[in-house]
Structure 1
C-alpha cells in the first residue's frame, strides 16, 4: 500500500493510537505498554490482555489466569502488571474524550467502564475474544490506511469494544452502598482519587493525612479510620500512602521534573523525607527507579 498522503486530507488521527505488544519478560520490565508520545494524563485505554499476570489497579489486586481479558482504564487511576509468565501479549488502544465525543451522548466519566470505583475487567469467552481481537486488528489496519474517514470508522470500533463489555455486566452496574461505613469509604476513596494526577510542578496536594480527609468529609477522624478499615481491610493512612506512591512512580517515569519538585508536589517538606518514604515502600530510591526506567 502506498504511503503517499493526499495534501488535502490530514490522515493523522488526533487523540487516538492503537498498537499490539508482544514482549519478553525482560522487555516487559519497563512500564506496561509505555508509549512515550502519549501522556497517561490525557488518554483513556482499552486493553486486551492475553497473558498470565497480576493486575494492580488503583487499590485492587486482580489475578489473570492467562485467558483473554478486556480491561478499561481512565487517566486518573494508575495501573501496572506483574507478569506470571515469560512473555506479555496484549493489544491496546488509547484515546481522548474529544476523540470519541462525536459518537457518544454521555461523558466517558459517566460510563460504568471508566467510572472511579468500578472494576472494569472482563474475562471473555473464546468466541467473544476472537471477535474483540478482530476489532483491534481492524483498528490497526485502518490506522495505517489512507481511508479519508478512518477516524469515524475507528470511533465506531471503539464503541463496539465498549458495548461488548457492557453486555457482560448488569444493566445497572452502580453498586449502592449497603451501610454508612461503605458509603463513607466510597466518598473517601473518590476524594482521594480526585487529588490526582499532579499535572504541573507548581501543583501540590491539598489533603495529605487522615485528619485532612476527615475534616473535608465532616466526620471525626476515628470514625473515618474505623469505616475504611472495616470495609477495605486497610487503614486510611495506607490508602493515602499507596496513592501517593503510585503518583510518585508515575511522575518519576513520565516527567523530567527533579526529585525535589516531585517531593514538594506530593506534600513532603524536604526531599529527604520523600526519599525515605519512597525507599521504605519500594526498596529503591526515587533516582534509582528513574534510572532503571
Structure 2
C-alpha cells in the first residue's frame, strides 16, 4: 500500500481529510499526524505491506495480524509498523481512541542518513504496552505534533522529527538493557538487518504470476555484494540460525498466508514461491510444517467455517 492509497482509504471514513497527492514525493519526505477517534472501523485493514512508517498510540482493543503470528492488544499500547513487514489491524472493541502518525523514509533521513537510525533499534519489537503515566507522556507528544503541524513555523518539520524521536526514545526505555558486549557485533547486526530488509521486500506476494527472485543464501549475498560465507556468519552470529533457515521459514510463512487468504491452487502458490514442480513445493512445505499444503488448507477451512465443526 502506498501513501496515496492509504489517504484514499482514509478519506473514505474521514471526509474532512485532504488527500495530499501533490506532496507525497517531495525530497524532504512526507509526515502527517491524526487522532484515531472517528477513523477506526470494525472492518479489518487490508493485509499488506505499506511503503511508509506508522506509529500508533492504541487506546482500545484489537488484533495485529502478521505473516506468522497475531498479537492481541487488550490495553494501551504503542505500535510501530515499518515498510518491511506486512500486517493487518482488526478492531475488536467499539471504543477506539489515541493517535497515529505516518511518514516515509525520506522524512526521517533528512538529518539522520545513517542506517543505524533509532527506528532500526526497535524494529524487532512492534508493540509496547503502556502504563497510565506512559500514556500521558506519549499522548502529550502527539498533541504537540498535532499543534505544530498547523503552524507556519519555518522549521516545524525539524521539530516534529524530534517529537518522533522522543516517542522512539520512550519505547527504547521500555526495552531491556542491551548487553555491553553486543556493541562488538555492530557490523554483523548491520549486515543482518540489510538481509532481513531485502528478504521482507519480496513479501507479501500479490500475484500468482510473480516468482520470487531471491530464494538462496547465494542470491542474497550477491545482491548485498558480500561473500556468502560472510553473510552466513553474520546472520548466524546475530540470530543463532542460518541464512537458509530464515529464508525457508519466511517462504513457508508466506505459503501459509497464501493458502489461508487466497483461492490460488497449490501449484500456483508453489510456482510463485519459486518451486517449478508441485512435488518440490509439497516436500518443502511438509518439511517446514509437517503437513502437506492441501491438507493444511482443508484443515484451516474447516476451522474457519463453523458449519464444518
TM-score bracket for the superposition, by shorter chain length: 0.5 to 0.7
1:240-259 to 2 correspondences below 5 Å: 240-242=254-256, 244=258
Counterpart in the other structure of 1:273: none
Aligned to 1:59: 68
Pair 1:104 & 2:112 matched: yes
C-alpha distance in structure 2 between counterparts of 1:120 and 1:103, whole Å: 24
- The 1:60/1:126 distance shift into structure 2, 3 A limit, reads same
Residue matched to 1:152: 158
Out of 139, 144, 148, which is 1:142 matched to?
Answer: 148
Backbone CA RMSD of aligned residues: 4.8
Q: How far does the alpha carbon of each residue in 1:166-205 deviate from its partner, in whole angstroms, 9 at most, with x for none?
A: 111123289x9xxxxxxxxx99x94752423669999642
The CA deviation at 1:162 is 0.7
Q: Which deviations, in whole Å up to 9, do the C-alpha atoms of 1:214-241 show, x marking residues without a partner?
A: 89699xxxxxxxx99xx99x98764131
**1:158 Cα shift?**
0.5
Which segments of 5 or more consecutive residues in structure 2 lack a partner in the other structure? 1-22, 183-191, 221-227, 229-240, 275-293, 302-309
Partner of 2:101: 93
Give the aligned partner of residue 55 of structure 2: 46
Question: Which residue of the partner structure matches residue 16 of structure 1?
Answer: 31
SS at match of 1:85: strand
| Counterparts of residues 1-293 of structure 1 (less than 5 Å) | 14-23=29-38, 27-31=41-45, 41-65=50-74, 67-104=75-112, 106-107=114-115, 108=117, 111-114=120-123, 118-172=124-178, 190=196, 192-196=199-203, 204-206=211-213, 238-242=252-256, 244=258, 267=272
Whole-angstrom distance in 2 between the partners of 1:75 and 1:173? 28
SS of alignment partner, residue 167 of structure 1: helix
Which range moves more in the overlay, 192-201 or 100-109?
A: 192-201
- Under a length normalisation based on structure 1, what TM-score does the superposition of the two structures give? 0.57
Q: Deviations over 1:58-78 (max 9, x none)?
A: 42221222x211111111111
Alpha-carbon separation, structure 1, partners of 2:106 and 2:208? 25
Extract unaligned runs of 5+ from structure 1: 1-9, 177-185, 219-226, 250-258, 270-275, 284-293
**How far apart are 1:48 and its partner, in Å?**
0.7
* Alpha-carbon distance in 2 for matches of 1:194, 1:100: 19
Relative contact order higher in (CA < 8 Å, ≥ 6 apart) = 1
Relative to structure 1, is the Cα distance of residues 200 and 95 closer, same or farther in structure 2, using a 3 angstrom cutoff?
A: farther
Describe the shift of the 1:152–1:54 C-alpha distance in structure 2 as closer, same or farther (beyond 3 A). Answer: same
Q: SS of the counterpart of 1:46?
A: strand
Q: Do the aligned partners of 2:31 and 2:101 also contact (CA within 8 Å) in 1?
A: yes
